[in-house]
Each structure stands twice: as C-alpha cells, then as structure tokens.
Structure 1
C-alpha cells in the first residue's frame, strides 16, 4: 500500500507536493526490474523505465523512444527500429541504439526471469549459456540510431515484448548486478531517487524528460514527488488511509472490512478486474502428481465457488488459463465440484499415504486458499498433508528452483501484455522450463501442447481462426490438468477523502492498474 501526503496546497487536478504510498512488500523487494524477486508480475510499473515502444492503455502499442513502430520484414523474422533524436537518460547520458543489446545481454547476465521473452533472437541461446561476447542477432548503428533484430522464426507477440520493462534500455555501462539501491537512470517522466529494500523509496521528476520529443505518447504526470513506504499489514494500511494519513492503499482490504468500505466510503474506492488468474500448480515430475488422475482428482475436489468466498466474493470461478476478457476465451467446465469422484480417483491411485507439502507465501488472503486446499486433500483421502508457508520475498524464486521440488502450491499470474503467448508460452511450454527462475511451476511438458504453442507463436495476427485454436490449447491444458485454476480476482483501489477520482485523475491501466503518476487532489 502506498501513502501520499501533500506538503503544500495545490490547485484542483494537480498534485504539486510529496506523494506518499505505503506499499505491500511482497513484490517490491527489488526495484531493478530485471531482478528475479518478481517475475512480472510488476503490477505497478514505475513511471521511470520506458521501452522503445509503449502501451499507454495496455492494449495499443505506440512508439516511445523509437520514431515509429518497428518495421517487420515480409518473412516476419527481422524487426528494425530507429531512435528518436535528442533523447537522454535522467543523468544526462545520451540514449544510444547500442544500449538496447547491452540491456538484453544484461538481462541474461542477471538471470532475469524476463530472458525467456528474448530466446527467439538469433544468437540469444548461445549467449545465455556463455554470457560472453554479444547476441549476434541484434545489430545497431549509433550514428543512424537504428536497431535491427533478427529472430530465428516469426513471433506474433514480439512487438508486445519490445514494450515490456525487460526491454526498457539502460546505459550500456550499467553494471550487471542489482541496482535497486543505486538506481539506473531513467527515460520516463520520473526517476528513482532512492530505494531501501523492505522499507521504501522515492521517485522524483526526471529533469531530462521532454514530452515534446516523444510525440505526446507519455504524459508528464501530476506529482512532483512520490514516496513509497512498504507496510506489510493490510489492516494497518487501510486504517491509515481512512484516517487521512495516506492517500492510496495498494493492499486489498481485509474481507471483514469490505462491508464497511462499501457502506461508509462508497465514493472513495474503485473496483477493477485486471487480466489475472489464481491457480494451484501440480508438479508433474513429483509424486503423486505425476499421475494425471491425481491431478484431475484435485480439480474435481475443490469447490471453486468456496474459494471465491475466501477472497471476499471479489472474483469469478474459472478453470481456464486465459481470462474471460480475452477474445480467445471459451468457458471450460470439465471439473464441476464432485468430492465423491475425487475420492474414487485417489482410491484408485493407491497413493493416499504419499506425503504432500503445499507451498504458499505469507501475504494477503492467499494462505487461506492453500489452507482450504489442504483440508480438501484430506477429504479426498490423502493422509499426510502439510503446508509450507514461506516469506513472500523469496517465494517465487523458491518454487521456481527445480532443487526445491515443490509438489503443489499456490500461484497467480497477471498479464505482461494482452496476448495468449504471455500465458501459454511463458507458463506452460515445456520447452521453456528452466532450472532456476522457472515460471512453469508444474513443469508441464506435453509435446502436443508445446508444438501447438510453437506453431501459433509464428502467426503474425490474431483472427477468428487463430483465436479458436488458442481456445483449443486452453482446453488441452485443462484436460491434462497440470493446474487447478480457480479464480479471476476482482480488486479494489481505496483512497482517502482528499483524492480526486474523476476523469483522468483515476486511470486504471490494462497492464499496470492504477496509474499513480496521474493522481490528483480535490
């Protein structure tokens, strides 16, 4: 949750003072976006890192540091960008075309969870193994400002990938180590002035930002200063906003406070549903979940409506990988709640005594979901079920390390960009399984699904035919049951009474949710 405090009176729809934002710490332990503290999941993108192209509303890509959108060759394998002239980082260093390959190479050197996005670039596979030399498929000309990227095969989502923070350039000289406490210079309207892990940070205006150079594709922002404080207790965070100490609550309100918020503070909150999925992964390499019937039993044995209630009723039950906002979505209902059928499947596997450890982190309502799962596994017939709750700061890297051998556990996903590949290729393509920082927690590796993902990856456009094929992949995943998907969650943004929530002052970005850079006071 993040706290805002104005230190001087400002006129309506501007915010001239200091903005304080107490923030949930589970995914902000590193402010170097290449670092593995959080795969993606950067639900709130800092308004400092910007890429060559940019999704201002999350769904439409526009040129930012580049003069225009990439030029793509007829065979779909070569992308060419040209830098705008006169650009510099917040420290005055000129932005150069050669910063791009250095940035991608830095991603690999850091073992960033984003490197999988760039695996299709020619030479990236060799560089990922040696960390020496350069990626041969990226050629730049600083004098002309051009960047040419050669892919091994066509890739329909590559322009989206170029708009992610993993592709946002930093100066080529930036060290290949975590820069959280000595932030790299920025190209956006703000820069990170300071950051202290597990405590907070400060963002201030980038003195080198000039929106006239960028075609008006990024607003200047309203606050002059944004202070981030990390506060882990959602009840305390909520009360501080109610008291007027803080301006916005990143935390989701505790379920027992929802009624009060809706009745007493109806004009101080907004609800929204980002493209997200909450699910239980089942590691197909580990017993008993190497047995597909056991995985199907888990799907039959959880009541998804009950799990929605655990989250305060804010959400809808689901079995699908893709969220219902996607045009490729076709509702699946292969596993209606049937505890008797789940019991029969477990009885048939002769595995009821197999020790099971359920993994989860210690934040938000999520531990209650795995507590429910543990109870249901017991009802299905398993006799040795335990939970392993670990610190949220290390949870994702822990379960993403093959040495952990996590059998089953909680996971969620928030889109990096609106394309099916961000779900299936990143999370379920067996060819992208890694030893560490693995996003495929189930180690799902089904050849037919892998091959279909790879086939569809080459499609340059999403049309009705391709959308139907993605819907079929969704069904194939459900049939193989590496997950028990259960929830598309709804969220609440809660503000104190001084905040203006009208017009552009409240902008909820498709990818990064509330845009705090546009916040206003009444």
Structure 2
C-alpha cells in the first residue's frame, strides 16, 4: 500500500491515561475487533430498511470510476456502487479478513499450478438500468483499468496476467487482453504468467467491477457510473456532497454480503475533523444518523469518554493491518553493521513512541513486522527483547560489540507531517530513547513529497527513516513481498528500503505463491517474517488502531480487520 504517511489525529499526551478507559469501553458493547457490534439490541437484519445514513468526511472519494480506485475488499463507499468477483466477509474482527464470493458463485477455481483461475457468475445479476451483468462486462471493466487515460488502480494485473504488461486499454487496443477469456456469459477465465495463490484476494479490487461497454464514456464515465451494487448515484458535487439512492435492480437474493438498510446515503465531504467529531459527539438531529469513514477521535473526544459512558458506547474500534517502523538502508554506514541495527532495536522505547501517537487506545507495541491478523500468518516473536520501554544497557553492550564503545551519531529521516505515524512526534521519542544508549540521533524532517522522493529512491535513500506500510489485502504477500523481495527494488517508488535481495527469500515468495490453501500460505509467510526479522533490517514500532464515533441511531457498527472501519453496507439507521 503506497500510503507511507497514514493520517491519524493523535491525542495529546495529557490524556494518555484516559485512553486505557477508551480501550476498555470499546470492548464487549463497543464495536470491537473480535466481531462485536453496538446498539444491537434493536437491530434486526430482516427489519432494518429505511432512513437516510449521513456520512461526514474530511476528504472526498478520489474517483467514481472503478478503474481509477485503489481499493480491495470492495472498499467502503465504492462497495455501495460496485460489486466485484469476490469481496471481504462482512463480519467483525478476524472473520472480516476472509475472502468470500460476490458476483461469482465461489472464490475461484484454480488450476493445479495456480496459473489459471476460473470464476462463474451468479444468476440474475443486473446493472442499475436493468440490463444483465455478464462475464464480458467484467472483462471490459478490467481492460479499462489498463488505459493510461484512467490511472490510479492497483497495478498487480499488469504483472500477473500473461502477456499483458504492454496492454494500453480498450480505447487504443480494442482487441482486449487475450489472457482473460469469456467462453460464455457466466464464465470468466484468467491466465497468469506465474502461480498466484492470492488471486481470490486480488479479485476483490474495484478493477474487477463490471462496466457495460455501451455506457462507457472514458474519462467522463465517473460523472455517471453504472452501478452493480445496492445503491446508485443520484447526484454528485465534488468535494461537497454525494447522494446515493437505492438500485431497484439489486436485492439480497443475489448479494448475501450487503444488507443495504438505509434508503438513502448522503456523503458530505470537506468538513474539518474537529467539526465532524463534535457533530458525532452531540448527535443531534440528522447527526444521530451519522458516521465518518475517515476521521478518528481527537483529544477532546477521548477526554469526554472518561466521564460519559454513553459516549463510550458509541466508539467503534478497528485494527487496520498497518505497521510503523524504522527502515534501515544497510548500504549506508554504520547501518551496514548488523550489530548497530540490533543495538538500535534494543534501545527503542516503544512505550514512549505509543505515548507520542496518543496512547494504548490508538496503538499496540510491535516486535514483528507482520500485524497480528491471523490471515497474514502472524507469529509472536521478539528477536531483540527489551520490554516496552527499551533496554539501553543491552543496547550499549551490543554497540560495543559493533565497535562503538563510546557511542555514535546517526541520522533519522522522517516526515514533517504532524500527526502522521512517522512524523516529528515519533522521531523525537526515538531520539530521546536512543540517547539513553549513547546514540545521538540527528533528525532530518522532510515534507511528504520530498520524503517520498528521497526515501523511496535507492540512490538517495538515507541510512535510517521512519516508514509505514499497510496491506492491500489481509495476506502476507502484499505486506512482505514489496518490502523484502529483491526483484521489487525500483529506481523510484521503491519500498524495499533495505535493498534486500536474497535469492532464497525471493524463491520462497514464489513457492508460497503456488499455494491455493490460504491458511497454509499464511503459515509460511509467518515463518518468513520471523526469519527476516533476525536480520534487523527494520525496527517495528507499533501497529495502529482505529477509533471512530457514530451517531446514536446507527446500529450494527461492527469493524473488520480488513479495513479497520465499520462497513457502510451493513449499517442501519432506522
């Protein structure tokens, strides 16, 4: 996931003590990360139709064209409009990391070598204009995503499909992609150039949404997209208001994953974060029917939770799979010395880092690169055990072994974006902790564009930088391979900061990709994470949590570990 500075509103350290109470309030009845729901006593999925759901956001949706959206699992707002071959399981917690059928009848039938995947569409699928959805519509929707006129979608298919790397989309090459076959209106077949056991996860991406060729208007398609989901666009004023109403040609009979309870959904964007949280806290008038999909709790809301148990019940808690860490470039001295990297691993005070980002309600300490999701293959290890507050004495011992008995000075590059997980607050906490071990840290703050243009370019990449990484889907593949596969080292936009290139590890990625048993693949990714962790190429700092308020009338606010958010398609306001 190319979001190296994931935005987060951090609480002030003075309310850290209160955050533990928020965490407790979010358990059980608080919409938690283990399948819990909120206000469920009055929720009946068979009697939840009606009302208008209000969505209060800071940022507008980037595009309304499925080819230009970079989402997996159906996304959140996109999932209301666009169905894909597969999607995420609409349940809370870990159950939400499972991939399930959407337009297709199953999650795909692989060939023995996992290089051919076949999907069969459900019966009675229709667009919002009543025309049938066919496999050819899915194929055409995918082909559009290759058009240079429609950038922004996930890049995997260009690499995965057989002989598709140079395809320029249907406007320039109407003959289409030969590696995608549609032998009949219900069947679609994908031929890959190498085994890809994660293909069912990729098929959740919005590129797999069907688009009717007759209604395609190229770059103007997003002005009036044709819906395959439970809602359609009634009106749209960019950066202000998107209004969605029911698609009368959709029903739960052909879509068991989306409840689609509200009759209408109004998505207001361009709001200030403090205003959003205040409106959700007060929950007056229409705001009682409101949620947000991009604004987390701020300091004032966290403080109020301590004295307002009713407000605590309206906090949804999620765990989007994301890790913040120190990334080393061993090609730069002294980070070429493994003992130096190990010493820093012992010296880091994770508790001070967590305090800097808002406390234990917003972050969990991380000693592993992989987040804790079972679907990723997480293994609980700590190669450099130093407790949550670090071990400067052990760090000094290891530093002496490295040849620096009197300490050393190192640079640390970070973004200047306050509130980002790799921003100045975290950098200062690391600087203070390493000082206790005799390591002087010289901070180098860069604005986002300069940060990415430096850290993600191997020729310029510094010896140490604060970085963050999230998975495009909850599997070990998109979390580990871009960071540790030597074949993924790029001249620009490079995320393998260590420029790590081990042929055995590269081969292990290929071998795991052959597995179509996702549980077996997850176990192998966990083993690989543990093996790479011994090299101290990174210092995992923390895995983020997500806390968001919702209005008093909103029900069924479960949170999945795929998105870290509640699912708009499952909410009720009646």
Length-normalised TM-score, structure 1: 0.80
CA contact (8 A) 1:279 1:487 kept: yes
Q: 1:23 aligns with which of 50, 57, 64?
A: 57
Structure 2, gaps ≥5 residues long: 1-7, 9-42, 91-95
Once residues 144 and 432 of structure 2 are traced to their aligned partners in structure 1, the CA distance between those partners, rounded to angstroms, is: 44
Q: 1:241 aligns with which of 272, 280, 292?
A: 280
CA contact (8 A) 1:154 1:460 kept: no
Equivalent position of 2:88 in the other structure: 55
Once residues 72 and 185 of structure 2 are traced to their aligned partners in structure 1, the CA distance between those partners, rounded to angstroms, is: 33
Deviations 1:251-298 (A, max 9, x none): 221246424214312322233334433333334566665554444344
Equivalent position of 1:296 in the other structure: 342
| 1:112-511 equivalence runs, <5 A | 112=152, 114-116=154-156, 119-127=159-167, 134-141=176-183, 143-172=184-213, 174=216, 182=223, 184-193=225-234, 199-211=239-251, 214=254, 216-233=256-273, 235-244=274-283, 246=287, 247-249=290-292, 250-255=294-299, 257-264=301-308, 265-283=311-329, 289=335, 292-310=338-356, 311-314=358-361, 315-326=363-374, 328-335=377-384, 336=386, 337-340=390-393, 342=395, 345=399, 348=403, 356-359=412-415, 361-363=417-419, 367=423, 368-376=425-433, 381-382=439-440, 384-390=442-448, 405=461, 408-435=464-491, 438-440=494-496, 443-462=499-518, 467-496=522-551, 498-501=552-555, 505-511=556-562
Equivalent position of 2:11 in the other structure: none
CA contact (8 A) 1:415 1:423 kept: yes
CA contact (8 A) 1:280 1:483 kept: yes
Equivalent position of 1:8 in the other structure: none
Equivalent position of 2:3 in the other structure: none
Which one has more relative contact order, counting CA pairs under 8 Å at least 6 apart?
Answer: 2
Equivalent position of 2:102 in the other structure: 64
1:281 aligns to what SS in structure 2? strand
Shift of 1:373: 3.2
Closer/same/farther in 2, CA of residues 432 and 239 from structure 1, 3 Å limit = same
1:509 aligns to what SS in structure 2? coil
CA contact (8 A) 1:449 1:476 kept: no
Closer/same/farther in 2, CA of residues 359 and 170 from structure 1, 3 Å limit = farther
Once residues 358 and 516 of structure 1 are traced to their aligned partners in structure 2, the CA distance between those partners, rounded to angstroms, is: 34
Once residues 544 and 277 of structure 2 are traced to their aligned partners in structure 1, the CA distance between those partners, rounded to angstroms, is: 19
Once residues 72 and 444 of structure 1 are traced to their aligned partners in structure 2, the CA distance between those partners, rounded to angstroms, is: 31
Shift of 1:473: 0.6
Q: 2:117 aligns with which of 60, 76, 79?
A: 79
Closer/same/farther in 2, CA of residues 162 and 383 from structure 1, 3 Å limit = closer
Once residues 435 and 382 of structure 1 are traced to their aligned partners in structure 2, the CA distance between those partners, rounded to angstroms, is: 31
CA contact (8 A) 1:49 1:165 kept: yes
1:515 aligns with 2:547: no
Closer/same/farther in 2, CA of residues 354 and 415 from structure 1, 3 Å limit = closer
2:125 aligns to what SS in structure 1? coil
Deviations 1:118-169 (A, max 9, x none): 622211334489996643321224x533211112333222112112334333
2:128 aligns to what SS in structure 1? coil
Closer/same/farther in 2, CA of residues 196 and 228 from structure 1, 3 Å limit = same
Length-normalised TM-score, structure 2: 0.73
Equivalent position of 2:5 in the other structure: none
Structure 1, gaps ≥5 residues long: 2-10
Closer/same/farther in 2, CA of residues 55 and 29 from structure 1, 3 Å limit = closer
Shift of 1:510: 3.5
1:79 aligns to what SS in structure 2? strand
Once residues 341 and 263 of structure 2 are traced to their aligned partners in structure 1, the CA distance between those partners, rounded to angstroms, is: 49
CA contact (8 A) 2:73 2:473 kept: no
CA contact (8 A) 2:421 2:468 kept: no
Deviates more, 1:449-458 or 1:417-426: 417-426
